Amino acid sequence: MTRARDALDEHVDGVRSRSEEAFSAVYALTANSLASYANGMLRDRLAAEDTVQQAFLELARAAPNLRGDGRSLRAWLYRSVRYSCLDEIRRRERRPEVVTDQVPDAGYRDEIALPDPALQAALLALSERQRSLLVLRHVVGLSGTQVAKAMGTNRTAVYAATARAERRLRQLLEGVESEHVATSVSVEREVLDER
Amino acid sequence: MSVDIRDRLADLHIEITPETATRHRAAIKAELKSPSPIPVRHMGRRRRPTLILAIVAVVVLTAAGALAAETAVHGEPLFPVKQVTEWARTWVDPTVPADHRIEELESLIDRRANQDAITDQLRRAEDAVADVADNDAVLVDRLNRARDRIVDVDVDVEDTPVSDQPARDDPPQSDGSDRPSDSTLPPSENPNEGDEEGDGDLGFPATIPPLCRRAVASIEHGETIPRWVLRECRDYLPRPGDGTSDSP
């Protein structure tokens, strides 16, 4: 049985020889998915885009020693983004965000506006591994095998862990949404009382 | 619910804006123009000779060990190695174990090993030959020849009449250190018992070593005696067909 060819297969040799065309093609094929993954991990679009650029710069340096086929290259990129995200998460934990009165301009706010804040909050409450699994599977849309390769595990473990992560996310979402409803009700009551 | 979560997760997908993409491509291009800081590893420049040497060393040592173990017999340190190679070779030739057991038996006979070891080895050889399908005629023949070499002395002795008089006045002295004592024999069979002059029931002179007296007595009673005893006492025992000889 032969496995399906990966779209990156034909660019692997070019990447190894540090060909600009090959890098451009690989970027076009993977950048959005990598950015979505990083965004799901960091809940920060700009930081996500930076991790994508960082991954490609690292690839440019390490390209001559790259081994394997297109799937290996794809897994390498996801691992690179994942490690960058972990670094960023640790950095944020050491240096929490500073609350400021300064408000970014409207255009910038539109660009970084995050959809579904409840979901994003619930995602952040998951462990890094569970978040990675869910984002890679359902945001990026990788197959179980691709996720396994990117995470350095096997496909069976990916399916089992993803199912557990989904259950956990559902519980968290129910909690976040009920809290959100309770908050909304109390605000409405306060408004009515004021009237 | 699960589908709902997946749909909501799918909505988190983002796309890099063209401006950002252009900026990224420019950065990558600049990086590609600079030489790669990571040296290219060439498997073989440094590692290949070591790897080849290691493989050759393993092969040579294994072969030497297997070769040295070829002549090992049961109980020797290399015998387990021989068993391993034998197990592997059995897949190709099922007569190998039997062949080896007979070789070991012949080796023990040539070395004049002790009787117990030879007897045990004979049993192993017989078992191994019996395990070979259709009882390979060559192996059976070799086993029989080896068996004959073990028992031929006994047969000679059993067929030999014992003379009353020894032939030698100056027999070899037996050290007797690891030999059975005459006191283990019943008085009626012990030539030395109650016979200070050495001419007891069988009429042996006192100059014959006790061991040989006992050997002659055993033969007289139709018993077989160990080969080493025969060797030790050959000067006092008559040869086959020499019933009345008075010389060794």
Q: With an 8 Å Cβ cutoff, is A159 touching chain B?
A: no
Q: Which of A119-123, B160-164, B208-212 is modeled with the greatest confidence? A: A119-123
> Is the per-residue pLDDT at A175 higher than 50?
yes
Contact predicate B5/A166, CB 8 Å? yes
Q: With an 8 Å Cβ cutoff, is B45 touching chain A?
A: no
Q: With an 8 Å Cβ cutoff, is B3 touching chain A?
A: no
- Give the range among A4-13, A31-40, A181-190, B62-71 with minimum mean pLDDT: A181-190
Q: What is the pLDDT of residue B142?
A: 85
B76-135 pLDDT tens trace: 888 888 888 888 888 888 888 888 999 998 888 888 888 888 888 888 888 888 887 666
B218-243 pLDDT tens trace: 787 777 777 777 777 777 776 655 54
Domain coordinates in residue numbering, chain A = 1-113, 115-195
> Percent of chain A beyond pLDDT 70?
77
CB contact under 8 A, A39 and B14: yes
Q: What is the pLDDT of residue B191?
A: 44
Q: With an 8 Å Cβ cutoff, is A141 touching chain B?
A: yes
> Is the per-residue pLDDT at A19 higher than 50?
yes
Q: Which CATH class is domain A1-113?
A: mainly alpha
Cα–Cα distances (Å) from A109 to A103, A114, B142, in that order, read: 9, 9, 98
Distance from CA of B50 to the nearest CA of A (A): 21
Helices B79-90 and B47-68: crossing angle, nearest 10°?
100
Calpha distance A147→A145 (Å, rounded):
5
Model confidence at B158, pLDDT cuts 50, 70, 90, reads very low
Q: What is the pLDDT of residue B13?
A: 85
Nearest by CB to B14, which of A35, A53, A64? A35
Calpha distance A99→B185 (Å, rounded):
111
pTM: 0.48
CB contact under 8 A, A135 and B12: yes
Contact predicate A31/A48, CB 8 Å? no
B9-67 pLDDT tens trace: 887 888 888 999 999 999 999 988 887 666 555 555 567 788 899 999 999 998 898 88
Q: What is the pLDDT of residue B36?
A: 66
- Give the range among A24-28, A116-120, A154-158 with minimum mean pLDDT: A116-120
CB contact under 8 A, A65 and B40: yes
Contacts of A143 (CB under 8 A, 6+ apart): none
**Looking at the domain that runs over A115-195, which CATH code has it been given?**
1.10.10.10
Q: What is the pLDDT of residue B135?
A: 65
Model confidence at B183, pLDDT cuts 50, 70, 90, reads very low
Q: What is the pLDDT of residue A50?
A: 92
> Quick count: other Cβ atoms within 10 Å of Cβ B167?
14
> Is the per-residue pLDDT at B185 higher than 90?
no
CB contact under 8 A, B12 and A119: yes
Q: What is the pLDDT of residue A195?
A: 55
Assigned token pair, A11: 């660019």
Residues of chain A in contact with residue B41, where contact means CB-CB under 8 angstroms, are 65
Residues of chain A in contact with residue B40, where contact means CB-CB under 8 angstroms, are 64-65
pLDDT averaged over every residue in chain B: 71
Residues of chain A in contact with residue B38, where contact means CB-CB under 8 angstroms, are 61-62, 64-65
Distance from CA of A127 to the nearest CA of B (A): 16
User: What ipTM does this complex have?
Assistant: 0.75
Model confidence at A76, pLDDT cuts 50, 70, 90, reads very high
Residues of chain A in contact with residue B37, where contact means CB-CB under 8 angstroms, are 61
Calpha distance B62→B234 (Å, rounded):
47
CB contact under 8 A, A48 and B14: yes
**Fold match, A1-113 / A115-195:** no
Mutation for A interface: B8, B19, B34, most A CBs within 10 A: B8
Q: What is the pLDDT of residue A83?
A: 92
Q: With an 8 Å Cβ cutoff, is B38 touching chain A?
A: yes
Calpha distance B190→B187 (Å, rounded):
5
Best CA proximity match to B105, nearest among B134, B81, B129, B88: B129
> Is the per-residue pLDDT at B247 higher than 50?
no
CB contact under 8 A, A60 and B40: no
